[in-house]
Structure 1
Amino acid sequence: MMMNENNGPRKRLLALDTSTAILGVAVTEEGRVLHEINASGERNHSVHLLPIIEQAMQASGTDASMLKGIAVGVGPGSYTGTRIAVSAAKTLAWAWKVPVAGVSSLHALAWGGYAAALVKQAEGPAAEAGQGGYGPDWIIPLIDARRGQAYTGLFAAAGQAAPQRLEPDAIRLMADWVTHLAGRLKQAESEGSKPRILWFVGETAQHASHATLEPLLGGPEIQPVPYELEGRWAGFLGEAGLLAGSDDVHGLIPNYTQLSEAEANLRRSSEGSRSQV
């Protein structure tokens, strides 16, 4: 990595996210993207992450002395993938003596997917609460978790700003999640804050089919938006996170939301062994 002396103010942020099949790295500065690399291939994240970090920093003319911190997606998502970015971010933050901010990968996915959808469809800003009888649009990010499950959450669109969280990140059975969303919609309607559009963003092919979302039909407009995470959104969230206070470098951990399959199998085997004693 470049380590040239630079006595100017530290304004830049290095952002990393490897929680999905996309390896996202970006260098941002006060809401601007200086350079971004989004590479596919989940199985190779551990091999390519550091070279891509170096490439992004060189391409943006950035060295460690110019960084005010590191933002890292902590998941939920791929168990192994999430660990790779978090471990790298902690190591670099310690080596470069800069703060680190852990951000929700689902929050970044929601923001990025919504922004991409508006650009693609030439939409205007989301409806503000109280306008035309609607509240803000809802954004539901989706990352496949297999067996009919998804890593997901619920956010309210906030114009060009980061979406506002309405439900925590979790792994959810999609059938139950859709039923829960239908209930929330009825409550929102009674409060006069029903969204105009439901944006399902991310891995929509697996979890946003007509059959899956049937309980929501007849309500707000439904817009599935296939979208792959881009590193910049972790950076934008990280900038806000560092203003609110950085995370402890040593205490930062991924948000797994569930045991890995290997750990679950090991725990079942261990419990079986104890029951036979």
Structure 2
Amino acid sequence: MTNENKEPRKRFLALDTSTATLGVAITENGRLLHEINASGERNHSVHLLPIIEQVLQATGTTAAMLGGVSVGVGPGSYTGTRIAVTAAKTLAWAWNVPVAGISTLQALAWGGRLAGLVSQSEAILTLGEQAEGEGSDWVIPLLDARRGQAYTALFCADGTGSPYRLEPDAIRLMADWVQHLAERLAQAQANGSSPRLIWFVGDTGLHGSVESLQPLQELSSIRVAAYELEGRWTGFLGEERLQTGSDDIHTLIPNYTQLSEAEANLRRSSEGSLNKR
């Protein structure tokens, strides 16, 4: 007689190593069971597997209980993003469960806005509850990409549910990005669809100053919330994604948005060699 577990798989493992924070979480039906977010030195390759083991043990989760793995695919740290994606694909293959690649910026937007709402004493009780005031919010996640640039996108958020996308993930020069947002906001106001608030979340210490956001402050109410990514939001987005489909384990890759510096230098060197022939 065998004690085969025939219960439906409901739990999900979430991983994200795209930023300075290593986030690992176990979620179940939109509820966080356990989470570890390790900030500090970017040594994610050493700590990821031990932390995965810790969250599995803390929740009593076995491979047979998992319905899938969700992973932040960036954009962000080139090396960091590859670590989580490789681990997620390997575990999904070994456990025979689906994998879902999640935008790190979308997870950052969701978590950053809710953290900002809580810190500003706005009523937040459960996922899906409506925020105070009328209308939707715009959310702009920010991850520093050096040289005045940021990995960023534009999302719209209603209540406390997951934000939906208005502009793609990309690396952008912040001065140009703010000007583009100001032009888009002016159009929204002309159409009667302006946001309730505009949130900048993430690496705001570098890219969320009063001076840099001045073109938008003249048009709308701005909220700036410094925030480090938490693994739960990659998990919740993964749950939503895996309800409708999954990624192919063999073709899932990080979203780099641009060549790494080493790759760019190699390409320039190759082009230079060809031109000399």
TM range (shorter): over 0.9
Aligned residues of 1:127 and 1:137 also touching (Cα < 8 A): no
The reply on whether 1:238 has 2:238 as its aligned counterpart is yes
* Deviation sequence 1:189-228 (CA, Å, 0-9, x none): 0111111211100000010111111211222111110000
| TM-score, normalised via structure 1 length | 0.94
Residue identity matched to 2:19: T
Partner residue in 2 for 1:62? 61
| TM-score, normalised via structure 2 length | 0.94
The reply on whether 1:251 has 2:251 as its aligned counterpart is yes
The reply on whether 1:28 has 2:27 as its aligned counterpart is yes
Residue identity matched to 2:201: V
- The Cα RMSD (Å) is 1.3
Aligned residues of 1:127 and 1:136 also touching (Cα < 8 A): no
Partner residue in 2 for 1:273? 273
Deviation at 1:127, TM superposition (A): 6.0
Taking the aligned partners of 1:188 and 1:235, their CA distance within structure 2 comes to: 32
3-state DSSP class of the match of 1:7?
A: coil
Q: Percent identity?
A: 71
1:141-152 map, 5 Å: 141-152=141-152
* Deviation sequence 1:82-116 (CA, Å, 0-9, x none): 00000000000000100000010000000000111
Deviation at 1:6, TM superposition (A): 3.6
Could you tell me which runs of 5 or more consecutive residues in structure 1 were left unpaired when the two chains were aligned: none
1:5–1:201 CA distance, 2 compared to 1 (3 A):
farther
Taking the aligned partners of 1:223 and 1:149, their CA distance within structure 2 comes to: 20
Partner residue in 1 for 2:91? 92
Aligned residues of 1:198 and 1:223 also touching (Cα < 8 A): yes
Taking the aligned partners of 2:5 and 2:205, their CA distance within structure 1 comes to: 47
Taking the aligned partners of 1:24 and 1:30, their CA distance within structure 2 comes to: 19
Aligned residues of 2:75 and 2:105 also touching (Cα < 8 A): yes
Aligned residues: 269
3-state DSSP class of the match of 2:75?
A: coil
Aligned residues of 2:122 and 2:132 also touching (Cα < 8 A): no
Partner residue in 2 for 1:187? 187
Partner residue in 2 for 1:103? 102
3-state DSSP class of the match of 2:162?
A: strand
Taking the aligned partners of 2:72 and 2:28, their CA distance within structure 1 comes to: 18
